[in-house]
Structure 1
Amino acid sequence: MNAPSVVSLVHLGCARNLIDSELILGRLAEEGLVVSGDSSAADTVVLNTCSFIGPAREESESKIRELLKKKRRGEVKYVVVAGCLVQRFKRTLMKRFPAVDLFAEISDGAALAKSIRELNEGKKINRYLESPGLREPARDVARLLSTPRSFAYLRISHGCDHTCTFCAIPSIRGPHRSKRTEDLAIEARELIDAGVRELVLVAEDSTAWGRDLGFELPHLIETLADLEGDHRLRIMYAYPNRFPWELTRLLRDHPRVLPYLDIPVQHVASPVLRGMRRAGSGDQVRRILDRLREEVPNITLRTTVLVGFPGETEAHVNELVEFIRTYQLGRLGAFGYSPEEGTPGHDLVERVDEDEIDRRLGQVLAVRDEILEAGQKVLVGRDLEVVIDQVADATGEALGRTWMDAPEVDLVARVAVPDAAVGDIVQVRAEGLDEEYNLRCAPVRNLA
């Protein structure tokens, strides 16, 4: 009897795309294939791509070329390309990369896994798998988690109804569709029962959840927070417009809802927001953040900004920098504008020079780092709770996070605790910072 084929998956992109990768991995295992984290030992390598912005697209295409080189050298038998890049550019990729064995648009992974099994069995397959199209979002099943037990992502909806001129997501993921409360409660229950400590709620637009079902986001948050178990909820990708203000009660008072909110504002200069087709003005953005901090005094806010949008002036950048400084937004992601094919912003003529975009981006990040360092220094000497994400290495340091930090995008805490397990919550004392402003901590006691 032949040994089962070995498949490895390379993931690129955001947390929503990571869930797609985990679904693919689970379906591969269901098909009897051996899933390996070591691509050098695999017969087939699946690349789950990202194409949100230019640099992500370039990274995806570079990775395709790298895998095809390995195929030519005989280091891998089959190369499969899936995900957002395929969904967005469809069959044009087949012409550009004829040596790729299989292309697959976004799906739950079942048809893809079956095709990969048949490919490894030497059967003739359709080289291009189309998405099954827009359907009512179903419960995510057969996920093979790739995150540590300390956290897992929970996708609460698919798609986006906004028409931001810079963004290709609606053309890739379709319009907004909420997953049903009962399905999400089952998914959350499964994750909690598997020992997951932190459920990180993600979507293209989290605050739109439920509007197509007759609910608002607080209904879902309270339902999930009230599930029995030792878990916490973290909310990411909250669009500021039409914010469901009942949510602040849960952020402030519910012991299982972390007082943390990721709320991407993109910019604060009103002319730039209008050009982006973002709802609201700069003053409205400020009022939202003011109210959030008033109603949830200990809230940690994370945001994302876009620099160099066509028509942005030096005055607009200065306004953005002053906004970041005024609101002390140290947990901030920033990226430079790139014209995306198929978006309304692609043909805008008031382009900002790429070198100037880089300069402005550096200006924003310098202020961000200044705020981040100052905020972290305030924590030195304090006792904090840290959830362990990674066990200690040879230095005896484990990696974890405070509740103020989301996984993979914010800071970490380095804890001198050699015997802690992933998912443990440890009370620590912050003793200093490393060169990237991460806390260096000593344990006080293990809480759980």
Structure 2
Amino acid sequence: MKIIAARTNKKVGMIIMVAIFLSLCFMLANIFLTYDSTVRTVEISISTQSMKTAADIAREVDVEGFERFLQKPTEDSADYIMLNRFLNDYRLKIGAKHVYIVVMDAEGNSRVMINGLPPGDTAHTYIGELCTLTMEEVQPAYHGDTFHTGIIHDPKYGVYITTGAPLFNTSGKLVGIVGIDTGVEVLEQIENNALKNSLFYFFANLVVLVLIVVSYTLIRRWYQKETLRVVGDSEQTFQKEFRSILTSIQSIKHDFANHLQVIFGLLELRKVERAQEYLRGLQTDLQVVTLTQQVANPALLVLLHSKVEKARASQIEMDFHVSPEENFEGVLSSDLIKILSNLLDNAIEAAEADPTGERSISLHLKKVGNTYQFTVENTGVTIPAENVKKLTQEGFTTKMSEVGGARGYGLSIVQEIVKKYEGELSVTSARGRTCFSILLVVDKRVAG
């Protein structure tokens, strides 16, 4: 048993290690996805708002004035000054780094024509200065759509996202692109916060995982100890009863020849009535031999063999009724043994003390629907009504205790098992007969 438990523990340990590894992988993956999703959500939110603003600016730009400026691109022209102030006002209003108008040259390079910065600003650009926008990035503008770039890390202007909107003249020709550089330093702060939150949740989940593993380990160890205890008790009872059966069979085998000689002698002497009486005395032995054909459950078979032999030794007539095809698979064998072993031991002790000398025990085991019904009835001294209600209390007994002996726990054990199966235990005692009736509710799938 211990070797099997050790092998099982090794396999369970490997399963737990794999589960922990997979859980850590899932948690790390979840942290990465959460972090990436947060960053992308903020980035898309900033880009969407900036693209909308770029489209609004493009609708308000004096396109004719911008075309006149392109014919003579100088900073002292009235159109340049007007557009510069217009873009600068918008820049201050929306809090952007830059608001400007670019054009694409014949080589596909973007050039800043008007930057919405006041004269003398350190970030001010000259007319026609190269811009970081590429032809690929501004391609949507040629189709009348807004666009945005990814996050740009510029050593001169910092971290920002560029968004843009097309600038068309009255004839539908693309004459320029309104660009907005929006600082995303706040995005870096959000990234740091998201990372910190993700790490916090990771360690929180890790602590929960450790607690779950520790709890599972402790519960499993308790369950194994409890299982080993239950199995050990059942195995001890089983071995005890099995040894009793072997002794009984050896005794029957040893006495068989003697019984035949006695019967043969009585018949030779023509004492038929004495032979019949002798045969009736052997019925209990015959009952032990034929019991194997009447009980399908192995554990129950061993138990009944033992109890029949014990009853026979005390000259107690035991009558049992068990359906041959019923193996009682809806009840654990350990529970079945504990219930019937305690009830039959009590019945045998009570029958031995029967003052009338009748000494009989009747056992009925049957299945009704999704329930098992067990009845053990014995002759003996009538139990007072006030004691009947106390029989299932732990430690209570109607028997005299031997010095140092623990008595009165059998029926409390039976009661615990009955509760486990949501069943009922009832006791009646009158006119020298005591009856214990037990009902166990089993799984409907088993009963069906």
TM-score grouping bracket, smaller chain normalisation: under 0.3
Structure whose CA Rg is larger: 2
Normalising by structure 1, report the TM-score. 0.17
Normalising by structure 2, report the TM-score. 0.17
Larger proportion of helix: 2
